[in-house]
Amino acid sequence: MSAADLLVRGVTHAYGADVTLTYPDFTARAGEHLAITGPSGAGKTTLLHFIAGLLTPTSGDVTYGHTRVNALSEAARDAYRARTVGYVFQDFHLMPGYTALENVMLGLGLAGVRGARARDAARAALTRLGLGERAHHTPRQLSTGERQRVALARAVAHGPGLLLADEPTAHLDRARATQALTLLQDTARDLGATLIVVSHDPLVIDAFARHLHVGDRAAPALTAVVA
């Protein structure tokens, strides 16, 4: 899967009657790296969920290539996500009873890659991320940094065009955080994927040339600050 342009236009979202989030329009070109910043509660994770097709905004459009993600049926959104998106969740979301290899294979299965091909691709992704020796360990037997690398291996094994990461340095010390960030950026570059990272960590923000600021929802005018 090669990367395509991502367009976000006129997106708002209401969580019940109390919370309405309004987003700046922006475009991420194929293969671009973008950091989404902003205060806690501004709606950064929610925006990542729209892009991943995990959630449909109340109004507006999220378009990836020729796909209007918000207009897809639930089944089509699942298929879009499985084939097009690699998502590294803040808490990794690994299956505790499965080994690292099996966790990566599960993700590949969703993308339609099964059997020996899935095993080979999962092994290759784990090896590329320095986890070849840890493939048969379960998440509980792995360090936090290793778990994060398994989550990254699962996110990239199927060659997604869009790689999304939510607070990828949140659980790591500075040295590990730098390593994780470099890994994310290098992996995205190798894949030719568009990389979008949500973070309020200055380390992450400094590592990205392009930023999109999602403002506090109390402020009516939200602006995109694009370097």
- Where do contacts with ligand ATP occur on this chain (CB under 6 A)? 15-16, 19, 21, 38, 40-46
The smaller minimum CB distance to ligand ATP, of residues 55 and 110, is found at 55
The smaller minimum CB distance to ligand ATP, of residues 18 and 133, is found at 18
DSSP state for residue 190 in the 8-state scheme: H
CB of 157 to ligand ATP, least distance (A): 26
Phi-psi region of 31 (alpha: psi -120 to 50; beta: other; left: phi over 0): left
CB of 146 to ligand ATP, least distance (A): 24
The smaller minimum CB distance to ligand ATP, of residues 21 and 94, is found at 21
Please enumerate in sequence order all residues whose Cβ is within 8 A of that of 194, keeping only pairs 6 or more positions apart, or say none: 3, 6, 28, 29, 30, 31, 32, 33, 34, 161, 162, 163, 188
Q: Rounded to an integer, what is the distance from CA 176 to the centroid of its chain?
A: 19
Specify the pairing of strand 33-37 against strand 194-198: parallel
- Taking residue 107's Cβ as centre, other Cβ atoms within 10 Å add up to 24
CB of 201 to ligand ATP, least distance (A): 11
CB of 213 to ligand ATP, least distance (A): 11
The smaller minimum CB distance to ligand ATP, of residues 83 and 211, is found at 211
- Least Cα distance to 32 among 212, 174, 203 occurs for 212
The smaller minimum CB distance to ligand ATP, of residues 7 and 55, is found at 55
- Least Cα distance to 33 among 223, 211, 215 occurs for 211
Interatomic CA distance for residues 192 and 186, integer angstroms: 10
CB of 127 to ligand ATP, least distance (A): 32
The smaller minimum CB distance to ligand ATP, of residues 15 and 174, is found at 15
CB of 19 to ligand ATP, least distance (A): 5
